[in-house]
Structure 1
Amino acid sequence: MAENRLQQASSAANTADTITPVEDANHQAHIVNSRADKAAQFIAEHGEVTFNYEEERKVIRRIDIRILPLILGAYFFQQLDKSSLSYVSIFGIMDDAHLKSIEYSWLGSILYIAQLIFQPLAAFLLVKLPTGKVIGTAVVCWGACAAIMASCTNFKSLLALRFLLGSFEAMIAPSLLAVTQMWWRRSEQTLRASYWNAMNGLTFIVGSLVTYGLGHITSDKIYRYQTIFIFCGACTVIFGVIFLIFMPDSPMEAKYLNERERIIAVERLRANQMGVASRQWRWDHVRETFTDFKTLLWFILIVAISIASGGISTFGNLILKDFGYTNFNAILFSMPTGAIQIVMIIGSAWVATKIGRKGIVITGISCLPTIGTVLMLTVPRNEKNKGVLLLGYYLVQCLGAITPMVYAWSAQNTGGDTKKKTSSAMMFMGMCTGNIIGPLLYNTKDAPLYRPGLIANLVMFVTVGVLGILIPMYLTVLNRWHAKKREELGKQANVVDESMVRRKDMEDSKAVEIEQNEQAATNIEDDNGLNDLPDLKNEDFIYVC
């Protein structure tokens, strides 16, 4: 029996790594591959446990109470500091810092150039180093950069600080995606990812209110944009210190949970077939990432939506102002865009979770900004049409729900620790690429119509809608391929994807409960889910359409 397990573990790892016997709390020996996920070693050391829905719900509640506020805050301050340039755009930064129109565009793009450059390093650090420490350090560093930016009074100094800001912010989005994968099951990830992405909308509201208030402060010694930079940066540094104190690095290292709760927190993730944290860099995972066709499709999708998002986020307040609003009114009318994004991001995530389909939801969302862009392109700019133009602008803001959906969709369909991190890096490199291109398609010389930028946006929205239909077709093909492979290996071809089913629903369904018991009988050393396998090499991996 032990010999069979040894062969299975060795085959699952697809490598000649050493096999280590580990004794659990009940003195039962388990065979763990040296390249297995840290979660596999943790379960082998502490023993496998059974638990019911009520126990799991209590653990989830404790995770939500501790982890969610921290990652929500991290993303909020990242968006606040990043968007501060847009907030100060109408408070004379171009005159005070002697900026030309194309220089302002480059200040918007340089942040994403820095993020693009540092994404590979971010992926490597997230695999090798404790996640909580990496995020907290990055928050403190970019907050300091945002505050120091207040000392910049010309293009070169602003460009340098924006580059540093983007370098540290390169860590945040992929790390929060990694945290989401590390703490929640696949059925829970879409909503959790939507919560921290919705902070982008909250930033619009809070940032607009803060800017509105601070913008009224006038002084002969300090420009108004400098006051805003100092406030945003100082708040971020304070939060970064709090994050470092309270954020655990993984479920296995969460000291605020007792031992059984930690075991449950890890055990429930086995069904994801994605692993938790290996702390080992795998070059075979990297190669699979760059040869994975579905990853390429998501990369194109994220580039397309980011081109549209980058231009609108940088020039949004200027576009509103050119509808005929004053500086302060433009800020006030930008506030509802935050509420729109919060409702759209969380609402669309709820719908996608309910129907179990993300592609069709993305296509549906893309229709709204398409209509809004057409309105902004065709309705004449005059006093009479201000309301219609504002409606078009608000419809375009619905695009904010697409990016988090793509992040979650890609993350849920990627297995293996290194591949998860490198795939996330690719997604965020695509986001950076789009956000670099987006602002450059707009120019203050094109005011008030901004036709080149808006036409480019329209093309991108249509592209997103088409990809939202095509990608699920390819995922269906992959699922059929894995089902055939399972059958060839003597496994059941059609299996229940436990990661997408609530334990309560499983316990309420006798048929599913039988299936659950069969799958639960799998020993930790035989479980592909914690053997750090990339999804294409794991026949038990089920893709989510």
Structure 2
Amino acid sequence: MRCPPVGNRHLFSLATTFLTRLSYRSRTMAYSHGNTNEDALQRENISDSSDQSLSQGPDGKEEGAVYRENVVESKETDLASAHDGFQKEVLETADPHFTVSKEREKQLIRKLDIRILPMIMWMYLMSFMDRVIIGAARLYGVEEDLNLGPNEFQLAVSILFVTYCIFETPSNLIIKRLNPAYYLCGLTFCWGIIATFTAFVQNLGGLLACRLLLGIFEAGFFPGVIIYLTIFYNKRELALRTGYFFSAAAISSAVGGLVAYGIGEGMDGTAGWRAWRWILLINGAATAVTAPFVPFILPGSVEKAKFLTDQDRKDLKWLRTSEVGQTASGQDLQKKDVMDGVKDWKTYAYGLAQFCSHLMLYSFSVFLPTVINRLGEFDRGESNALTVPVFALGAIVYIISCWASDRLQVRGPFTMGAFFVAIVGYAMLISDGDVAVKFAGTFIVACGCYTSVGLGFAWLASNNPRYGKRAYASGMQITIGNSAGVAAPFLFADSTEPRFIPGYSASIATLAVGMCIHAAMSYWFHKQNKNRAAGKEDWKMEGKTPEEVADMGDLNPMYRYTI
């Protein structure tokens, strides 16, 4: 039966919707697993044949063909142009059948890994160490030399995060307007100089000033690198690369313990300086010396990477744009995308969960030497040395979790499991058990600490394909998360020694909240993917051109969230 006459405007809308669905339907499940266009094209042939068998009228014609018969003749040029625009926007290649093999993809990713990962891991190792090694230096006379009163050391630790939180999101919004490699180089040099001169402070005021300045220049580094990685890697590879990067925090804490032990026991009194000054001076100087090498090693973008061939660049561009939402326009900073991030509730849900995990991260990383020392069985040197295996185990568990997360393409179950493991560890610390039980609890906390924090970053980045929204959301997530650094030091106030029951109790409560948030988000993502697979959101494509649908980002009905 032929379709009754309808208005031209409505008819054109129906035709556009039909063509849009035909272009996308084959990709419905492809992108939830990061499949390439080659897989999607195979499914498209199957989908087309099933459509013909289901939607033919009595005269043997497809009902969709009736619409095209009436509309395409008059709108042929417009629709052809729109379809061509869609192909250019999504694939950016003249050959619509252009693909990249799995082996070629692995070769390219390995090439990027060798060039990028060692440098950013080293930079973050130095960044995190400059930020938290003051906790190890505490055991070598900081409070005595600077005449710090009760909880003034905690104030010095926390005040860094005031400026740190203020400057994170603005920094994320400008990094791509500059050359990212030079921008990261400048930040590294500045905070390295400030960390170095912290060794010369003589009172609380000087220490607070240095910590505030350190927060300004370190603020842009971590969120900047998270965004930087999304320039080169797609959602299939992002968790493991973020994992390698963030594992430097655990490695830094372990190395920091060794460095503090070595300097503290070997240089105390050298040139009339207490050991804590040498600890801060040597770590800060190492960071400043690193900075000049950064722009010679890190590429500013795929297009500017001199170690890549023209074919490498073409293949990498295809790998980036073969996922729903990864259009050419989506890689630029656009006001609309930023505003989408501002209005999206998921941005703040991710941020609140990150606050819960960061409260553990900063309190645990800074005060673990103190916690071990207050167990009553170890001196200051042994306390710093014993942090090494704790943080090393945390790094190993985190890397394994990231590898498994990328293999399975899920994030939520791993972060929820990490929250639960950390709760068990804190329960052991707060118990009336002996020293062995409490010390074992620190290992359990470390197993959950870095996984809950690091995979949260990768989860948000995986579910925001458009750069502007991702830049804002990632910056806000880290800003909200790092605001926990202001409160974290006071969980271990001097008055609560040696058991720190209020701090452990608060950690357990916030970790439980974080676990519930991630559980709710996992359920919501699963429900959205199920509805989209059933076609319940296809109405959002009605009246839109293929380019407009492609530019919908994570709101595209064909986009699948990582759960």
Shorter-chain TM band? 0.7 to 0.9
Q: What secondary structure sits across from 1:393 in the alignment?
A: helix
* 2:403 aligned with 1:350: yes
Q: Which residue of 1 aligns with 2:60?
A: none
Moved more, 270-279 or 132-141: 270-279
Instruction: Report what 1:70 is aligned to.
Output: 119
Q: Determine which of 535, 538, 541 is the counterpart of 2:554.
A: 535
Amino acid at match of 1:245: F
How far apart, in 2, do the equivalents of 1:110 and 1:364 lie? Answer: 31
**3-state DSSP of counterpart to 2:322:** helix
Q: SS of the counterpart of 2:202?
A: coil
Residue pair 2:133, 2:366 contacting (<8 A) in 1 also = no
1:2 deviation in Å? 5.9
> 1:282, CA displacement in angstroms?
2.4
Q: Distance in 1 between matches of 2:191 and 2:329?
A: 26
Task: Give, in angstroms, the shift of residue 299 of structure 1.
Answer: 1.3
Q: Which residue of 1 aligns with 2:293?
A: 242
The aligned residue for residue 516 of structure 1 is none
Partner of 2:358: 306
1:3 maps to amino acid: D
CA pair 362-489 structure 1, distance change in 2 beyond 3 A: closer
Give the superposition deviation at 1:48: 8.6
Q: Is the 8 A contact 2:375 2:435 kept in 1?
A: yes
**What pairs up with 1:67-466 in 2 under 5 angstroms?**
67-216=116-265, 217-219=267-269, 221-275=272-326, 280-324=332-376, 325-379=378-432, 385-398=434-447, 399-466=449-516
Task: Give distance in 2, aligned partners of 1:46 and 1:245.
Answer: 34
Looking at structure 1, the residues matched to 360 and 196 of structure 2 have their Cα atoms a distance apart, in angstroms, of 28
**Residues in 1 aligned to 2:392 and 2:382: alpha-carbon distance in whole angstroms:** 17
CA contact (8 A) 2:82 2:547 kept: no
Secondary structure of the 2:492 match is: coil
- Mapped partners of 1:375, 1:445: distance in 2: 21
Q: Distance in 1 between matches of 2:185 and 2:285?
A: 15
Offset at 1:465? 2.3
Change (3 A) 1:439 1:63: same
Larger radius of gyration: 2
Deviation at 1:291? 2.1
Structure 1 counterpart of 2:526: 476
Residue 490 of structure 1 and its aligned partner are, at CA, apart by 7.9
- Farther off after superposition, 108-117 or 54-63: 54-63
Q: Is the 8 A contact 1:308 1:456 kept in 2?
A: no
1:485 deviation in Å? 6.3
SS of equivalent residue, structure 2 residue 441: helix
State the shift of 1:313 in Å.
2.1
Deviations 1:278-336 (A, max 9, x none): 67542322222122122222111101111222222222211111001110010111111
Question: 1:15 — aligned with what?
Answer: none
> In the superposition, relative to structure 1, how do residues 277 and 136 fare at CA in structure 2: closer, same or farther (>3 Å)?
farther
Give SS of 1:215's match. helix
CA contact (8 A) 1:475 1:544 kept: yes
> Relative to structure 1, is the Cα distance of residues 52 and 351 closer, same or farther in structure 2, using a 3 angstrom cutoff?
closer
Deviations 1:327-365 (A, max 9, x none): 001011111122111112112112222333221222222
**Closer/same/farther in 2, CA of residues 430 and 362 from structure 1, 3 Å limit:** same
**1:476/1:236 CA distance change after superposition, 3 Å:** same
Alpha-carbon separation, structure 2, partners of 1:374 and 1:117: 34
Query: Conserved in 1, the CA contact under 8 Å of 2:421 and 2:444?
Result: yes
**Number of the residue aligned with 1:18:** none
Matched to 1:450, the amino acid is F
Contact 1:252 1:266 survives alignment (8 Å): no
Is the contact made by 2:394 and 2:443 (CA closer than 8 Å) also made in structure 1?
A: no
* Equivalent position amino acid for 1:393 in 2: T
- CA shift in 2, pair 1:180/1:2, >3 Å: farther
Partner SS state of residue 139, structure 2 = coil
Aligned to 1:505: none
Tell me the equivalent position of 2:31. none
Hey, what's the Cα distance between the residues in 2 that align with 1:63 and 1:206?
26
State whether residues 414 and 451 of structure 2, in contact with CA within 8 Å, keep that contact through their aligned partners in structure 1.
Answer: no
Q: CA offsets, 1:413-461, max 9 Å, x none?
A: 1121111110111111122111212112320121001111111001012
C-alpha contact (below 8 Å) 2:352/2:481 kept by paired residues: no
Instruction: Note the C-alpha offset of 1:400.
Output: 1.8
- Residue-pair matches, total: 480
Deviation at 1:55, TM superposition (A): 2.3
SS in 2 for 1:273: coil
Identity value in percent: 21
* Displacement of 1:489: 7.1
User: 1:313 corresponds to which letter in structure 2?
Assistant: S
Q: Distance in 2 between matches of 1:421 and 1:188?
A: 18
| Counterparts of 1:295 and 1:447, CA distance in 2 | 37
Separation (CA, whole Å) in 1 of partners of 2:371 and 2:320: 46
Residue 107 (structure 2) pairs with residue 58 (structure 1): yes
Cα distance change on mapping 1:435 and 1:272 into 2, 3 Å? farther
RMSD, aligned α-carbons? 2.6
Counterpart secondary structure, 1:472: helix
- Amino acid across the alignment from 1:462: A
CA drift of 1:273 comes to 3.4
User: Could you tell me whether the CA contact under 8 Å between 1:195 and 1:346 is conserved in 2?
Assistant: yes
- Runs of 5+ consecutive residues of structure 1 not aligned to the other structure: 13-29, 33-38, 492-524
Query: 2:540, 2:557 within 8 Å by CA — same for their partners in 1?
Result: no
Q: Which amino acid aligns with 1:402?
A: S
- In the alignment, the residues of structure 2 paired with residue 287 and residue 280 of structure 1 have an alpha-carbon distance, to the nearest angstrom, of 14
Asked if 2 retains the 8 angstrom alpha-carbon contact of 1:48 and 1:267, the reply is: no
- Cα offsets for 1:85-116 (capped at 9, x unmatched): 11201111011111123211111111211111
After superposition, residues 517-528 of structure 1 pair within 5 angstroms as none
Relative distance call for 1:233 and 1:372 in structure 2 (3 A) is same
Shift, 1:373, TM fit: 1.2
SS in structure 1 at match of 2:133: helix
Deviation per residue, 1:189-210 (Å, 9 max, x gap): 1111111111111112211111
Kept after mapping to 1: 8 A contact 2:146/2:202: yes
TM-score (norm 2): 0.80
- Distance across 2 between alignment mates of 1:101 and 1:46: 69
Tell me if the contact between 1:419 and 1:534 (Cα under 8 Å) persists in the aligned partners. no
Cα distance between partner residues in 2 of 1:247 and 1:311: 32
Q: Distance in 2 between matches of 1:118 and 1:2?
A: 49
Distance in 2 between residues matched to 1:49 and 1:218, nearest whole Å = 64
TM-score (norm. length: structure 1): 0.82
Q: Which amino acid aligns with 2:299?
A: P
Tell me: CA distance 1:277–1:307, structure 2 relative to 1, closer, same or farther (3 Å). farther
Aligned to 1:99, the other structure's residue is in SS state: coil
Distance, in Å, in 2 between the alignment partners of 1:111 and 1:160 is 9
Q: Which moves more between the two structures, 143-152 or 304-313?
A: 304-313
Q: Provide the rounded CA distance (Å) in 2 between the counterparts of 1:281 and 1:350.
A: 30
CA distance in structure 1 between the partners assigned to 2:510 and 2:479 by the alignment: 17
Counterpart-to-counterpart distance in 1, 2:538 and 2:461: 26
